[in-house]
């Protein structure tokens, strides 16, 4: 599961959301390192309200999978098919006794750390926010004072989505061969030096 020696910028540039996975496990050691990468992310006022539930048991993974919505623009074509489900999940929780609101910035930083750390090891991911939080809470036994924020699905990629310069639409799409194409704004349209 190791990538070639790539710079961090090359890893970031090559990152695409993965929704189809190979039936290969992700080790507990790597899953714990990914959570550690999330734990070490910046946290507003250093309050550190985030905690994580790692799901890698087969029975529980089968309970988590139907709680997730995968690719609204191309549903159901973007959903993992049978045998393409994630090898593991990291469910991100916010302890509302530590911080009731504005923890979303912490979540974003933690998720990006975990996504990039996974990709550096050859593991693809999909950050899911369209989830059935009540069902996940029940399945995972999450106490009431925690907010179920989002889920990071993980596994060895079984697809290679392509980025392209965005035209008039931000909607991703699949070509005749089934390859996902993801429009991204051109750098010239988003960078402003010194003044707008």
CB-based contact 126:80 (threshold 8 Å): no
- The count of structural domains within the chain is 2
- The model's pLDDT over 21-33, given as tens digits with 9 standing for 90+, comes to 999 999 999 999 9
H/E element, 121: none
List the domain range (segments joined by +) for residue 57.
Answer: 8-160
- What is the phi/psi pair of residue 76, to 5°? -90, 5
Task: Give percent of the chain above pLDDT 90.
Answer: 82
190 occurs within a structural domain: yes
Strand order in the sheet with 173-174: 162-165, 180-184, 173-174
Query: In this structure, are 111 and 35 located in the same domain?
Result: yes
- The model's pLDDT over 137-178, given as tens digits with 9 standing for 90+, comes to 999 999 999 999 999 999 999 999 888 898 889 998 888 888
Cβ neighbourhood burial of 95 (10 Å; 0-12, 13-18, 19+): middle
Structure tokens at 63: 């309970």
Q: State the pairing for strand pair 180-184/173-174.
A: antiparallel
Residue 142: give its domain's CATH number: 3.40.109.10
Q: Which residues pair with 92 in a beta bridge?
A: 52, 150
47 occurs within a structural domain: yes
43 occurs within a structural domain: yes
Query: In this structure, are 48 and 125 located in the same domain?
Result: yes
152 occurs within a structural domain: yes
Query: In this structure, are 65 and 152 located in the same domain?
Result: yes
149 occurs within a structural domain: yes
Structure tokens at 51: 């905690």
Residue 186: give its domain's CATH number: 2.20.180
Query: In this structure, are 82 and 122 located in the same domain?
Result: yes
Query: In this structure, are 57 and 143 located in the same domain?
Result: yes
Query: In this structure, are 75 and 38 located in the same domain?
Result: yes
Query: In this structure, are 90 and 122 located in the same domain?
Result: yes
Query: In this structure, are 57 and 97 located in the same domain?
Result: yes
Q: How confident is the model at residue 2 (pLDDT cuts 50, 70, 90)?
A: very low
Name the nearest CA neighbour of 165 among 189, 191, 141, 148: 189
Cα–Cα distance, 77 to 64 (Å, whole number): 19
Query: In this structure, are 131 and 191 located in the same domain?
Result: no
Query: In this structure, are 114 and 139 located in the same domain?
Result: yes
Q: How confident is the model at residue 1 (pLDDT cuts 50, 70, 90)?
A: low
- The model's pLDDT over 51-100, given as tens digits with 9 standing for 90+, comes to 999 999 999 999 999 999 998 888 888 899 999 999 999 999 999 999 99
30 occurs within a structural domain: yes
| 3-state SS class at 119 | helix
H/E element, 52: strand 50-55
Query: In this structure, are 152 and 169 located in the same domain?
Result: no
1 occurs within a structural domain: no
3 occurs within a structural domain: no
Query: In this structure, are 82 and 168 located in the same domain?
Result: no
Would you say residue 43 has pLDDT above 70? yes
**CB-CB neighbours of 170 under 10 Å:** 11
């Amino acid at each position: 599961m190791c990538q070639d020696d790539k710079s961090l910028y090359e890893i970031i540039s090559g990152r695409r959301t993965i929704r189809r996975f190979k039936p290969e496990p992700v080790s507990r050691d790597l899953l714990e390192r990914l959570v550690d990468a999330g734990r070490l992310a910046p946290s507003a006022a250093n309050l550190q309200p985030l905690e994580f539930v790692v799901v890698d048991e087969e029975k529980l993974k089968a309970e988590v999978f139907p709680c997730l919505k995968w690719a609204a623009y191309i549903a159901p074509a973007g959903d993992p098919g049978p045998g393409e489900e994630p090898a593991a999940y990291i469910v991100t929780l916010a302890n509302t006794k530590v911080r009731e609101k504005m923890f979303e910035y912490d979540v974003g930083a933690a998720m990006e750390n975990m996504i990039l750390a996974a990709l550096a090891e050859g593991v693809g991911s999909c950050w899911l926010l369209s989830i059935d939080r009540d069902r996940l809470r029940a399945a995972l036994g999450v106490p009431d004072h925690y907010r179920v924020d989002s889920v990071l699905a993980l596994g060895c990629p079984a697809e290679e989505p392509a980025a392209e310069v965005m035209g008039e639409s931000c909607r991703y799409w699949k070509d005749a061969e089934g390859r996902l194409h993801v429009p991204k704004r051109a750098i010239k349209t988003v960078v402003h030096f010194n003044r707008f």
